[in-house]
Chains A and B, each alone.
Chain A
Amino acid sequence: MNMPLMKAEPATVTPATTAKVLPLPPKRPALATRTRMVLGKVAERIVPPVVVIAVALLIWELLCRRAGSTLPPPSRVLTDTWELIVDPFFDRGGLDKGLFWHLSASLQRVAFGYLLACFVGVALGTLVGQSTWAMRGLDPIFQVLRTVPPLAWLPLSLAAFRNGQPSAIFVIFITAIWPIIINTAVGIRNIPQDYRNVAQVLRLNHLEFFWKIMVPSAAPYIFTGLRIGIGLSWLAIVAAEMLIGGVGIGFFIWDAWNSSHISEIILALVYVGVIGFVLDRIVAGISTAVTHGTAAN
């Protein structure tokens, strides 16, 4: 009677050990599949743009390779501008500088004009959003002025400042400010009455109301304006710099055109596009970081 029992025990133990081993094999495929899934997800995002870009470059290459074509193919662009690509930091004095210096000069102008537009735009937008009187007085002016193309302001600002640098900054400022004003005003006007009631019961003063209710409540709208503004600033700077001259990516493009360096124009356009994209992403990133959790309910 004992013997079968003794035998029965190891018999039950053996399946138990196999049962312990069992969970291990599925773990290895799990890790493998997980990495495969991550790679797959990355590939899902990266493969389509890579394929599209490659096809576009190929078409461009085929179209512009023929003799007598007016624009260089991508392979020519790369060989022509290789020096500019590998050494963006050279400075031979005057306007003969690397692309880094041109781009940084443009970015500085945009930074000044845009930041000024942010402060003035949010302030004016708040005024227009808060006061019906100010809205009725200022809104018609805003609606007319915002349709004026950015470059139309340049001669006037040159006449006023008699200097290219502040004129360019002013053009950026006047371009970026309208969407900031208008979106801020809409955001302020859309503050729910509930929050205003809370502020009234708590007797928040104007400053407290501004910082604790208005800004957080209107932040999603304000950031929409700021994002449109940065895009417009970057659009306007190239055109403005073509006219005012001096160091800057706009002037670089114009100068390349005058010297018939078409490849350099194409390289500059790529940089302008990438930087515009990065600027938009930065403002969008700040927006999500700041407005996190401000959505109602």
Chain B
Amino acid sequence: MTSYLKLDHIDKTFIRGSAETEVLKDITLGIDKGEFVSMIGHSGCGKTTLLNIVAGLARATNGGVLLEEREVNEPGPDRAVVFQNHSLLPWLTVYDNVRLAVDKVFSATKSRAERRAWTMHNLELVQMAHAKDKRPAEISGGMKQRVGLARALAMEPKVLLLDEPFGALDALTRAHLQDSVMAIHQKLRNTVLMITHDVDEAVLLSDRIVMMTNGPAARIGEVLDVPLARPRRRLEVASSPTYLKCRQRVLEFLYERHRFIEAA
């Protein structure tokens, strides 16, 4: 059976001078349409490198990425990225940041008025329409991340790539944004690949959690299904036995692997 997005035997080796560092080894993973998959692992295990390979910003040494059975090896708006540090252009307003993406992706298919409406629609989706004329420097970290999400969503990507999107936020803001992402995923049914190092975030948001072993030469250690019904509510889910069991599994994996690698 073929998957919507397929990571096919990906190896990544960085060569600096004569020193070779194997970062990723034999990563194979299939993601179905509409699925929300998280990748979790300790920092330095190559999660972001893997996401960059899927985004096309980095090239795999061996293997490749297939989207709808076609190989992708350069960046494009069909795999929109929400970057860890928002990456909004500081000289553009919130509206113009999203509009830049909309203009580029829909220049041929949407009229000027339609593009305007689509930009506003996506800002409303992340509850940022009220700040459309502000510049990134004038809004909070959480709001910047919302705008980054709106920009990615506005490209109508086939796959949404989230690179630790909430990593730099405080716990309350993070929870708010997680709820927003859940609501948007519920509504639009995007295919999502998210990098995270937060166990609760992974369990709460994902259909499946991919656990990475420690680098160098990180591999997929284990894949865990999260059989929680959607829509999920933070408070209800947090006490459910399934949630706790999944959480326990991820923690055990990270904790024991980590020790194992250290001993080796």
Q: A residues within 8 Å of B by Cβ?
A: 194-195, 197-198, 200-204, 208, 212-213, 216-217, 219, 293-297
Q: Which residues of A contact B76 (CB under 8 A)?
A: 201, 203
Chain A interface: which of B9-17, B82-90, B230-238? B82-90
The complex places the Cα of A201 from the Cα of B74 at a distance, in Å, of: 9
Of B80, B89, B135, the most chain A CB neighbours within 10 A belong to B89
Do B90 and A201 touch across chains, with their CB atoms under 8 A apart? no
A interface secondary structure, majority: helix
Contact with A along B65-102 (1 / 0, CB 8 A): 00000000011110111010101011100000000110
Apart from A197-B75, A197-B81, A216-B89, 5 more pairs, CB < 8 Å: A201-B55, A202-B100, A202-B155, A213-B89, A294-B91
Do A203 and B57 touch across chains, with their CB atoms under 8 A apart? no
Complex A-B: 27 CB contacts under 8 Å? A194-B83, A197-B75, A197-B83, A198-B83, A198-B89, A200-B56, A200-B57, A200-B74, A201-B75, A201-B77, A201-B79, A202-B100, A202-B104, A202-B105, A203-B76, A203-B104, A212-B89, A213-B89, A216-B91, A217-B91, A219-B91, A293-B90, A293-B137, A294-B91, A295-B90, A297-B90, A297-B136
B interface secondary structure, majority: loop
Q: Which residues of A contact B135 (CB under 8 A)?
A: 293
Q: Which residues of A contact B91 (CB under 8 A)?
A: 216-217, 219, 293-294
Q: Which residues of A contact B155 (CB under 8 A)?
A: 202
Do B75 and A195 touch across chains, with their CB atoms under 8 A apart? no
Q: Which residues of A contact B56 (CB under 8 A)?
A: 200
CB A55 to nearest CB in B, in angstroms, measures 44
Q: Which of A197, A219, A294 contacts B87 (CB 8 A)?
A: A197
Do A201 and B80 touch across chains, with their CB atoms under 8 A apart? yes
CB-CB contacts below 8 Å: B25-42 with A: none
The complex places the Cα of A50 from the Cα of B260 at a distance, in Å, of: 76
Taking A293-B137, A297-B136 as contacts, is the C-beta distance between A200 and B87 under 8 angstroms? no
Q: Which residues of A contact B137 (CB under 8 A)?
A: 293, 295, 297
Taking A200-B56, A202-B101, A297-B137 as contacts, is the C-beta distance between A195 and B89 under 8 angstroms? yes
Q: Which residues of B contact A297 (CB under 8 A)?
A: 90, 136-137
Q: Which of B77, B79, B81, B87 contacts A195 (CB 8 A)?
A: B87
The complex places the Cα of A261 from the Cα of B53 at a distance, in Å, of: 75
Closest chain A residue, CB of each to CB of B57: A197
Do B80 and A212 touch across chains, with their CB atoms under 8 A apart? no
Q: Which residues of A contact B104 (CB under 8 A)?
A: 202-204, 208
Do B77 and A202 touch across chains, with their CB atoms under 8 A apart? yes
Do B81 and A201 touch across chains, with their CB atoms under 8 A apart? yes
The complex places the Cα of A64 from the Cα of B83 at a distance, in Å, of: 69
Q: Which residues of A contact B80 (CB under 8 A)?
A: 201
